[in-house]
Structure 1
Amino acid sequence: MPDPRSSTSPASRAAGSVRTRLQRAALDLFDEKGYDGTTVDEIAERAGVGRTTFFRAFRSKEDVIFPHHDELLEQVRTRLATSPATEANGLVAVFEATSLVLRHYVDEGDLAVRRYHLTRTVPSLRDREVAGLRQYQHAFWDHIRTWMPDDLQAKLMAACVTTAHNTVLRQWLRGEVADPWATFNRAMAQVRELFEVRGGADGATVVVLDGAGADPAQVGAAVERALRARA
């Protein structure tokens, strides 16, 4: 199956390039002048575009910092909605949806790192980030409660999934982990153990893969280690 990114139209690629230029220009100016001291006009000028082009790409200066939130949230909801309402399938959907968000930030690289450091210093951006996290958590809860009858437990699991993901992401953003996927898999395993989720009614083990070029030999070795540890 062809990579869907390869079929992106020239217009879409150009729009993406403009958005990236605006993001980098904004972050450079925020470093130089501070967030509050930077205007939309200055960002547009630094990126080599007009004010109108800026507002075609972003609704506000704040949106430059969180350009993909709505898109990512919709991807998460879509992935969760495609899963049958059973514990085993639902759990896989939750972890795969969570990995979509982590993959996006890892692929962004230095842009994600610079955004992280900026949000640590600007209270309004931190508030916006927290509000976004609540939306993710609510999406997970809304899905988990379809197969977890105890509503409180479903809310607790949604909170744990969100917290585990954010902990791993922040560790990677701070340069504390070299392999965020290995750390992510360990974190999700802890969530499963915390809620004593062991798979379907037949006791089958649930294996969740990121799918980003996984080496079959490495996957097999990881499964073998996990089985030995459980034994």
Structure 2
Amino acid sequence: MTETPRATPDVVTGSIRLLAEQGWEATTVDRLAQAAGISRATFFRKYGSKEDIVFADHAANLERLEQLLARSGAAPGADPAVALREGVLLVFRHHLDHRERALARNALLRQVPQLRDRELITSHRYERVLQRYLRSALPETPARATLATALSAAAVAVHNAYLRGWLRAPDTDPSAELAAQTERLARALVAGFGHPGAAPAGEPTAARARPAVVVTVLDPAADTEQVLASVRDALR
């Protein structure tokens, strides 16, 4: 896929807002170029098509993500869970730092179903960047490729869920919660695959290798002893 040229923030945001307000079909490239104060030929040369400019900032954002992960991978004793957390946070903060653009793009995507395919392709590109990093950063075991695939997909899914929540309530800032949940997810998945480096520093090695167990308590009145007894009965 051809990379989208980088556009200046004002032109990108203004163009997306114009497309959302005036309608996808009704807004021509000539109108976008006029609003940007440039010729039609210059608009095409710098920004490409209408679809290209809607996602123009992601090319630069993907590059920043790759650079962050490369720095992390080169650091001695780097923790993949921490690097994944910081990578997801970098992408999420980009939307929060460009609030008007993110809201305008979300409004446009809700109006134009055909743009959702491009959005999905963009998500897959972030996923592939994370997956490439994890394939080299995770402990070298037969399950590494599978874990990298699962973890990168899960991290992008969690990011997108938090992004949708923020778009519904843009005056909030769930960055800290997203960061904590992403790192927790990474450590749980790595531990589930039996990698000893999954737990935070200071936790005994034996505990790191324990399988993840999820217990759902259906009786809110049950006390700790009752829950433990039920678990013991289930394991017999």
TM-score, normalising length from structure 1? 0.71
Tell me the residue number matched to 1:115: 105
Call closer, same or farther: CA 1:144–1:61 in 2, change over 3 Å: same
Task: Work out which of the residue numbers 172, 180, 185 in structure 2 matches 1:178.
Answer: 172
Tell me the residue number matched to 1:82: 71
Deviates further, 48-57 or 61-70 = 48-57
Call closer, same or farther: CA 1:186–1:22 in 2, change over 3 Å: closer
Task: Work out which of the residue numbers 117, 122, 125 in structure 2 matches 1:132.
Answer: 122
How well do the aligned residues superpose, as a CA RMSD in angstroms?
2.5
For residues 1-231 of structure 1, the aligned pairs below 5 Å read: 16=8, 19-21=9-11, 23-32=13-22, 34-84=23-73, 88-146=78-136, 147-148=138-139, 149=141, 150=143, 151-175=145-169, 178-195=172-189, 196=191, 197-199=198-200, 203=203
3-state secondary structure, aligned to 2:130: helix
Identical amino acids, percent of aligned pairs:
33
Cα distance in 2 for partners of 1:23, 1:31 equals 12
Cα distance in 2 for partners of 1:137, 1:22 equals 24
Q: Deviations over 1:162-207 (max 9, x none)?
A: 111111111111117712213313421441353233146x649xxx
Larger RCO (CA under 8 A, 6+ residues apart): 2
Q: Deviations over 1:78-118 (max 9, x none)?
A: 22122237885222222212211111111101111110121
3-state secondary structure, aligned to 2:111: coil
Deviant stretches of 4+, over 6 Å: none
Q: Deviations over 1:5-32 (max 9, x none)?
A: xxxxxxxxxx73xx51353144224322
Across the two proteins, how many residue pairs are aligned to each other? 186
3-state secondary structure, aligned to 1:83: helix
Cα distance in 1 for partners of 2:161, 2:147 equals 21
Unaligned stretches of 5+ residues in structure 1: 1-14, 205-231
